[in-house]
Amino acid sequence: MESSQIITGAAICTVLIWLGFNSLKQHYKTVFSNQIKTDLESFIPYRIRLCRLMGGFLMLILALMLGFAMVYLEEPAQHLADLRDQSEESNTKLVYTTQQLKFATSYAFFWIVFLTVLLLLVATSSIDAIFSWKHQKQLRDSLRSLSAIKIKNINPQKNHILEETPPSLDQNSNN
């Protein structure tokens, strides 16, 4: 494996681990303890926190799988690819051993599982985005209704205050 591949893979794993761990740390206590300590914790609904907790867990799984693939699977897979390339160049038929076929099958299965976990992460993030959008819409509607109530309440109070004020000196002088 080339050094640029190692650096890129290590950077991706590091970012995934950092994001996954921070997401788990922020949402784990709130999701599993049902105790909300601050107003900020109660501001984010449970279902959004649950999606973010699952997303963090899936990011950690992806990071571990990617690290495993870089360390243990890359070299044997590259060896099989080199054998295939050599057979194509020499126009000979390549016959794999049972061990090589077994590895190729497990390698393909590994990447199918990896892509499935990635798809689950994307789906969880999409569900989180939908829940967040609905929550923001609900908050905007609540703010609109509160501002409408405030406007309605302010006007009658001003009229009520004007009715209770004693007449001014100008009004008394006319009598």
Per-residue pLDDT in tens (0 to 9) along the chain, 175 residues: 688 888 999 999 999 999 999 988 888 777 777 665 665 556 677 788 888 899 999 999 999 999 999 989 999 999 998 988 898 888 888 888 999 999 999 999 999 999 999 999 999 999 999 988 988 888 888 888 888 787 666 655 555 554 555 555 555 545 4
Q: Which domain holds residue 87?
A: 3-164
pLDDT of residue 155: 56
| DSSP secondary structure, 12-71, as one string | HHHHHHHHHHHHHHHHHHHHHH----SHHHHHS-HHHHHHHHHHHHHHHHHHHHHHHIII
Q: Decide if 70 is inside a domain.
A: yes
Residue 169 lies in a domain: no
User: Does any domain span residue 173?
Assistant: no
* Spatial distance between the Cα atoms of 121 and 133, rounded to a whole number of angstroms: 18
Under DSSP, the state recorded for 165 is S
Tell which residue, 75, 65, 61, has the closest CA to residue 5: 75
Structural domain includes residue 40: yes
The answer as to whether 175 is a domain residue is: no
| pTM (whole model) above 0.85 | no
Query: What is residue 136's predicted lDDT score, i.e. its pLDDT?
Result: 86
Task: Give the per-residue pLDDT at 41.
Answer: 57
Provide the token pair at 125: 């993030």
* In a domain? residue 63: yes
The first and second tokens of residue 16, run together, are 């995934």
- The 8-class DSSP code of residue 91 comes to T
